[in-house]
Structure 1
Amino acid sequence: MTTERRMPATTLDERAMLEGWLEFHRKTLAFKCEGLSDEQLRSAAVEPSNLSLMGLVRHMADVERSWFRRVLADEDAAPLYWSDEDRDGEFRLTEADTYQEAYAAWQAEIETARRNAARFGLDDLSEGAHRRTGEKFNLRWIYTHMIEEYARHNGHADLIRERIDGSTGD
């Protein structure tokens, strides 16, 4: 499978632009994981970090779930990989963890995110609130935050992928 990525057109309206950049960054993370074995995808960046490509995919599944289900739509959706007892659970991988499972969970959360976001305008406030602060957010803020979150972690993914097999690039 080859991930097709396209930067959004330069003349889109605000919502299409935000959605376009978010989609670009989602696909960038998938692109960084292509062609690697589960063992390579579980491979940590550098000691003592346990940051890995598979861990990043699992992390982003939980981030999508948190912002688009719990905060935006006020759904009761428990975290997939972490807990209050293990805040970095998504990065603690075992031999039993597979990219196929992580990728499927991530894609399911992305599809739910798209459906939930489609019900809101950019200025509409979330139905739920941040679990620690109680703040509500408009969809514009959530989109912008998600773009930032993916962009930061895609930078990590660039470095991890280069360490694994020397691949560099967008």
Structure 2
Amino acid sequence: MTTTEMPERQEPALDADELSMLVGWLDYHRETLAAKCSGLTDDQLRTASMPPSSLTLMGLVRHMAEVEQHWFGNVFGGEQGAPLYFTDEDPDGDFHPGPDATYEEALATWRGEIAKARAHAEGHALDDLSTGTSRGGQHFNLRWIYTHMIEEYARHNGHADLLREGVDGSTGD
């Protein structure tokens, strides 16, 4: 499968309120990852282009589906969602798409987890606290979760930049 649609990315308004700014930047980074995967075949998306690392673009998408589920569903929403890709035998299974893994499935799962994340956050104030706690027993406010998610995507989008360039030479935003 070749992905051909280039996701639309829009930076938040320069004068947005805090919630709109955080949601806007998170959505921008979500679409950046999608853009880095756009136009590639499943084989290219499974290519670890930066040896000795085994990191792939498809692995990043699968990982971010896990991250969306963890922070918005499990931690903030109090759900006990089963892991999507990792197992006790392969705790990094999200990063290890096998030869039968498809981007179509990974993308649908990731988009589904983003939709669930939005539903968990909808109607909440930034100071609202999570159901789940840190290892130290503290609750996270929604502001912290949004900020952490932006950081998580920004870091992995840097990886995606290098992976994409290694796959087909593409560079840019």
Q: Same fold (TM over 0.5)?
A: yes
Q: What is the total number of aligned residue pairs between the two structures?
A: 169
SS at match of 2:21: helix
Percent of matched pairs sharing the same residue: 61
Structure 1 Cα separation of the partners of residues 62 and 8 of structure 2: 21
- Using the alignment, how far apart are the partners of 2:57 and 2:90 within structure 1? 19
Tell me, what secondary structure is at the counterpart of 1:123?
coil
Whole-angstrom distance in 2 between the partners of 1:133 and 1:78? 23
RMSD (CA atoms): 1.1
Q: Distance in 2 between matches of 1:79 and 1:102?
A: 14
Deviation at 1:133, TM superposition (A): 4.3
Give the structure 2 partner of residue 70 of structure 1: 74
Show the 5 A alignment for 1:1-170. 1-130=5-134, 132-170=135-173
Question: Measured at CA, do residues 147 and 164 of structure 1 come closer, stay the same or move farther in structure 2, by a change above 3 Å?
Answer: same
Q: Counterparts of 2:139 and 2:89 in 1: how far apart (Å)? A: 25
Paired residue secondary structure (1:126):
strand
What TM-score results when the alignment is normalised by the length of structure 1?
A: 0.96
Runs of 4+ in 1 over 6 A off after TM superposition: none
Q: Is the 8 A contact 1:64 1:110 kept in 2?
A: yes
**Structure 1 spans left out of the alignment, 5+ residues:** none
TM-score (norm: length of structure 2): 0.94
Following superposition, the deviation at residue 33 of structure 1 comes to 0.2
The offset of 1:117, in angstroms, is 0.4
**Any idea what SS the aligned residue of 1:150 has?**
helix
Q: CA deviation at 1:113?
A: 0.2
Q: Which has the higher strand share?
A: 2
Shift in Å, 1:83: 2.6
Question: Shift of residue 46 of structure 1?
Answer: 2.2
